[in-house]
Structure 1
Amino acid sequence: MVMLGIIICIVLLDLAVIWNICRLDLTSAERTKYILIVLLLPIIGVTLFYMMNRKNEIPKWNLSTRLKDRNKRR
């Protein structure tokens, strides 16, 4: 539930920034560039977050394999 709230906040902030970018007096190329940067930043952040969490997890197959090897040695 907390993650859903965080995702909604990020989407709303993105929309607010995009709205302000559209209101600025920029060329369409500059506008497109800034909008793409704003949209890519949360995607990169979420990707890094999941990669860091995944790195800290112990894979289940690895743990069970280690336990089986330990039992065979005894």
Structure 2
Amino acid sequence: MDELLQRLQDRIANLAADAPVAALRVVAALERLTGHAGLETVFNLEADVSWQTMGEALGVSADAARSRVRKYQYWA
């Protein structure tokens, strides 16, 4: 997954250099996609998963994980 994300980032950077408006459209589409995916993911979270575990998976603190989850719950 990390490799796929890195390739996507590289492609967007190249597109931004050649066609910034097209790159902006891609970024906007990705924002919509990640918003919907985040909402679906939060909906499917197991109730017994701790904030600490979520934070470790995201590479952030438990408080930051809670904040991120609440952001997606707010979108619902």
| TM-score with structure 1 setting the length | 0.39
- Taking CA–CA contacts closer than 8 Å with sequence separation of 6 or more, which of the two structures ends up with the larger relative contact order? 1
Higher helix share: 1
Larger Rg: 1
